[in-house]
Structure 1
């Protein structure tokens, strides 16, 4: 499988024409449903921020994003413009239509209290983490429970793979104002944890806000 970087692909969509815009503070979450054809932009406002994201088929949340199916289908460890995100069933959920970062991780997983203690030290146990944020956001939706926390996408996060197959967490390759845009192919529920991690370079040891913008389905023809 190739792990080479990709040439950034920009979008012609104008935020002034968007139907929705929201700033996600560092360490907080966001949950939203997308209709087919709607376009979601996730923007790294200050640079070097990891945005942990899960995707679910809205009408059947048990059919959620599959990192394994997506990686196998595209024969690439990383996500970028042109990547199609697949569900466990093989159903196409979203397509990345623009990306000014270059690539995004989907194998590093989300931080949790338990993983923090294993990777760093026991005194990190009380620190806020993405799993806590995911659970908090899902607590308001009766169709979800903790079994729905599956492998996620880490937008803007840099997780190089060594020749021996080991993962390393490195300084981010993103920058202020870089973004990724995804077009919904099916009805999709998007769950975001704007990562609060302070113990590795994924956030530059300083978590910062991210922005989400949504355009109506009519905007899909605005791409280059």
Structure 2
């Protein structure tokens, strides 16, 4: 089973079940657009994607083909099987209303779409709340550190058609966005495409 590509409009998101051994392909159709991903074990939401565990075991902040994404219980959740971009972020949390209020004065006190809201809305049918969502894998996001530790957010290096492909190592509830933060996307928010292939067992 392979689903037709689904397009996430700019500053939106979704949630879905990804079965073990199914493959999720995330595509940047126009280039320069981030996609936030977070997931939970489908049978127990206390087990969730862990930035800390994943970076510990990979010994790098730049995850790409061949790396495994681990849960907070140190179990494999996703394996990266193809990556045509090679630059993604697993340090920063999904943008939220508080992000815009605290970091971007031009948006202070004004509603702004956010990845946290879109992830929570997409995962709500599975019983997930915003407080359960942690540090996301920010696909195509270009974050790099100075030697002293200061972080920079530059426009994504992804070009039109770049893809990031992961295989599920357990049944997962997955949230995915077309990131809402203008700064992360070179000043303009754009769409994201995704598709799922593999067994659709019930």
If the TM-score is normalised by the length of the shorter chain, which range does it land in? over 0.9
Give, in whole Å, the separation in 2 of the partners of 1:216 and 1:136: 26
Q: Can you give the 5+ residue segments of structure 2 that lack an aligned partner in the other structure?
A: none
Matched, 1:139 2:124: yes
Contact persistence 2:49–2:69 (CA under 8 A): yes
Aligned length: 199
- Spell out, residue by residue over 1:64-119, the C-alpha distance to the aligned partner (whole angstroms, 9 max, x if none): 00000000001001211111000000110010000000121000221111121221
Contact persistence 1:19–1:216 (CA under 8 A): no
Give, in whole Å, the separation in 1 of the partners of 2:180 and 2:100: 12
The normalised TM-score by structure 2 is: 0.93
SS at match of 2:181: coil
Shift in CA distance, 114/19, structure 1 to aligned 2, threshold 3 Å? closer
Higher percent of residues as strand: 2
The counterpart of 1:163, out of the listed 132, 135, 147, is 147
Aligned to 1:130: 115
Comparing 125-134 with 172-181, which one deviates more in the overlay? 125-134
Q: Can you give the 5+ residue segments of structure 1 that lack an aligned partner in the other structure?
A: 1-16, 219-224
CA-atom RMSD in angstroms: 1.6
Matched, 1:53 2:37: yes
SS at match of 1:169: strand
The normalised TM-score by structure 1 is: 0.84
Contact persistence 1:37–1:217 (CA under 8 A): yes
Give, in whole Å, the separation in 2 of the partners of 1:130 and 1:19: 24
Give, in whole Å, the separation in 2 of the partners of 1:67 and 1:97: 18
Runs of 4+ in 1 over 6 A off after TM superposition: none
The counterpart of 1:203, out of the listed 185, 191, 195, is 185
